[in-house]
């Protein structure tokens, strides 16, 4: 029996790419590959790329350059590029880096086995189509090995919003949702393998409209309620959402679905109506704030997270101050903030850019405010009881680490819990990045 081939996958970007990498490994597992933690002994190196951050493509080319020595030493080594940079730059990648054997977009990775076979035969393999078939149904089923207590599950892909700064509609395609029955089947399989918390993923997850068991489209709230019927599934989360798709039934679910955790990532991007319009966000600062009020009325203890872009083309100091005012009004437990960077082919890339030094200054001020709010939210947890799902042993002897209902990292010194246990914990102290607690 021949030895298994080794696959090294490096994953960039969002949780959806983490999920995609798992599925790509499974697809190639059927071709005799097993994963390895280092590229040095790999038979195939696969970079699963993200196109959201600044200079994403150049970082991929730089990473590929590091593998030239390995390729020279082992000509049979196959190198592939997957994900959103692959989708955006397919043929250019092969032109600039002739050592690349395989390029596959995020909607075509179910075709990896045939692409790998083509590459093994000495041909260049390129597939950046948007195929009509459901890639999830064409993938090899998940192996039945035990899993950690948390898992991602993609339920929706693509986006129809066409924000002026974003490449997702071009790299991931139009919005498409997986049928309810297929999502539930995959969720049950994960639970059977030890998963206790599932995070539902989508580029615009609350636009979910998957086919229901009796026909007709279901909403994300309906899907969540169906998943909540799985006994050993203890927690449900979802990300990332758009304010325009936060419907009444999903707001209600935050108040009456016990397994839906009190944490919501709801990006706003800016507090300036002028900038929001130029971003093509289709909501206003006021409508966003009113939406937050409705969500908090349904679930008063919910912790909010957001996304912010500073230095967007045409943003003035006055526009930036409107963003700061919105942050003060809402109060975030966490947030992701970035300086605007151009994406070729998007409308905003053609506009006059904000001075980089000014954008840097605004980003530092905004992040300082978010940091204060984040620390205040953590400090407010001291003395409260929370649920904690334990995920691993801590660095200190006898310490266990997990995540609270509100997604805070919590460490407890105890010998009474194991990985996968869900327990009540009283928070005793707040640190810079985590909380300390004791079992109740």
Q: Which residue ranges does the chain devote to CATH 3.30.750.210?
A: 144-261
Q: Pick the range with the lowest mean pLDDT from 53-62, 83-92, 162-171.
A: 53-62
Query: For domain 385-439, which architecture applies?
Result: Beta Barrel (2.40)
- Identify the architecture of domain 144-261 in CATH: 2-Layer Sandwich (3.30)
Residue 84 marked in a binding site: yes
pLDDT score of 282: 93
Evaluate if residue 54 carries a pLDDT over 60. no
Q: Quick check: 120 pLDDT over 80?
A: yes
**Is residue 232 scored above 90 in pLDDT?**
yes
257 is in an annotated binding site: no
pTM: 0.81
Q: Which CATH superfamily is domain 5-127 in?
A: Methylthiotransferase, N-terminal domain (3.40.50.12160)
Checking if the pLDDT of 2 tops 70, the result is no
When mean pLDDT is compared across 22-26, 51-55, 117-121, 410-414, the lowest value belongs to 51-55
Quick check: 142 pLDDT over 70?
Answer: no
- Stretch(es) of the chain classified as CATH 2.40.50.140: 385-439
For the cut 50, the answer to whether the pLDDT of residue 140 exceeds it is: no
Residue 128 has pLDDT above 70, yes or no: yes
User: Tens digits of per-residue pLDDT, 98-110?
Assistant: 899 999 888 787 8
Three state DSSP letters for the chain: CCCCEEEEEEECCCHHHHHHHHHHHHHHHCCCEEECCCHHHCCEEEEEECCCCCCHHHHHHHHHHHCHHHHHHCCCCEEEEEEHHHHHHHHHHHHHCCCCCEEECCCCHHHHHHHHHHHHCCCCEEECCCCCCCHHHHCCCCCCCCCCCEEEEECEECCCCCCCCCCHHHHCCCCEECCHHHHHHHHHHHHHCCCCEEEEECCCHHHCCCECCCCCECCHHHHHHHHCCCCCCCEEEEECCCHHHCCHHHHHHHHHCCCECCEEECCCECCCHHHHHHHCCCCCHHHHHHHHHHHHHHCCCCEEEEEEEECCCCCCHHHHHHHHHHHHHHCCCEEEEEECCCCCCCHHHHCCCCCHHHHHHHHHHHHHHHHHHHHHHHHCCCCCEEEEEEEEECCCCCEEEEEECCCCEEEEECCCCCCCCEEEEEEEEECCCCEEEEEC
More confident residue, 344 or 338: 338
Listed in order, the ranges of the chain carrying CATH 3.40.50.12160 are 5-127
Residue 159 is labelled as binding a ligand: yes
Given pLDDT bands bounded at 50, 70 and 90, which one contains residue 201? very high
């Amino acid at each position: 029996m021949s030895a298994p081939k080794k696959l090294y996958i490096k994953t960039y970007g969002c949780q959806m790419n983490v999920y995609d990498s798992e599925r790509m490994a499974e697809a190639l597992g059927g071709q005799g590959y097993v994963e390895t933690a280092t590229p040095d002994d790999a038979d195939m190196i696969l970079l699963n790329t993200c196109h959201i951050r600044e200079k994403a493509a150049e970082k991929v080319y730089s990473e590929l350059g590091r593998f030239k020595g390995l390729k020279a030493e082992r000509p049979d080594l196959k190198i592939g590029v997957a994900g959103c940079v692959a989708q955006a730059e397919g043929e250019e990648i092969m032109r600039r880096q002739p050592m690349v054997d395989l390029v596959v977009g995020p909607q075509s990775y179910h075709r990896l086995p045939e692409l790998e076979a083509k590459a093994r035969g000495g041909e260049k393999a390129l597939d950046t189509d948007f195929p009509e078939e459901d890639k999830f149904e064409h993938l090899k089923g998940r192996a039945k090995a035990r899993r950690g207590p948390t898992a991602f599950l993609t339920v929706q892909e693509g986006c129809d919003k066409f924000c002026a700064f974003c490449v997702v509609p071009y790299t991931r395609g139009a919005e498409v949702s997986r049928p309810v029955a297929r999502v539930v089947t995959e969720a049950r399989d994960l639970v059977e393998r030890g998963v206790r918390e599932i995070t539902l993923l989508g580029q615009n997850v609350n636009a979910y409209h998957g086919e229901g068991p009796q026909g007709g489209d279901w909403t994300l709230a309906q899907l969540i309620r169906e998943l909540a019927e799985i006994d050993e599934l203890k927690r449900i989360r979802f990300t990332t959402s758009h304010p325009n798709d936060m419907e009444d039934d999903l707001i209600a679910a935050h108040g009456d679905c016990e397994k839906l955790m009190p944490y919501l990532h709801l990006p706003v991007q800016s507090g300036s109506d002028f900038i929001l319009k130029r971003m093509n966000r289709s909501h206003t600062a006021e409508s966003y704030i009113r939406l937050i009020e409705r969500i908090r009325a349904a679930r008063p203890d919910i912790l909010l997270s957001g996304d912010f872009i500073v230095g967007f083309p045409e943003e003035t100091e006055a526009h930036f101050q409107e963003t700061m005012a919105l942050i003060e009004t809402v109060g975030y437990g966490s947030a992701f903030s970035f300086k605007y960077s151009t994406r070729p082919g998007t409308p905003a890339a053609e506009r006059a850019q904000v001075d980089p030094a000014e954008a840097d200054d605004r980003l530092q001020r905004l992040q300082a405010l978010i940091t204060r709010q984040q620390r205040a939210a953590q400090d407010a947890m001291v003395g409260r009881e929370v649920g904690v799902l334990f995920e691993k042993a801590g660095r200190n002897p006898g310490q266990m680490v997990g995540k609270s209902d509100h997604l805070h990292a919590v460490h407890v010194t105890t010998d009474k819990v194991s990985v996968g246990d869900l327990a009540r914990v009283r928070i005793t102290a707040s640190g810079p990045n985590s909380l300390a607690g004791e079992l109740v």
